[in-house]
Amino acid sequence: MSEAGIELDTVEDQPSFLGNAKKKALEALALMPGAAVLADDSGLCVDALDGAPGIYSARYAGEGHDDAQNRRKLLEELKDVPEGERGAHFACAMVLAQSGRPIVQAVGKVHGSILFEERGENGFGYDSLFYYEPDGCSFAELSAERKNEVSHRRNALKMLLAALDTE
């Protein structure tokens, strides 16, 4: 949007990834009537933390904190959780909004578990803590190409495209 000269900073105050993605899409569409707008919201959900950090993934350690501080907080909260109970998934809600058309939405996930320490240099956010069993490594150890093949965003986009095909 910034490349198109559109300044929009949506307040993510909805109770779900889908709610935040829908709010972003509708606010952007209001600025660009007649356009098609694709918006998403995503984050990490940890089973042992009842789905946290969830919609608060980017600001888990508090406002003004960064990815490293968010990862440290997550590790601290999971320090006593044994290996078999560290299940997690990344979720991505994707919404396509167009003037005069129904909203199309999808939620994609990728399942894994949380490591006891960071591994890998690639990616961002919680990638260095997210263990992806099929490849036997963290998301931060995957190439960008491989991560894009299996990610929650890819899964959401595939579901969104499938929903468009049924219209």
Active-site residues: which are they? 41
Q: What is the dihedral sign for C-alpha 13, 18, 154, 35? A: negative
DSSP letter for each residue of 65-107: --HHHHHHHHHHHTTTS-GGG-EEEEEEEEEEEETTS--EEEE
**How far apart are alpha carbons 60 and 30 in whole angstroms?**
30
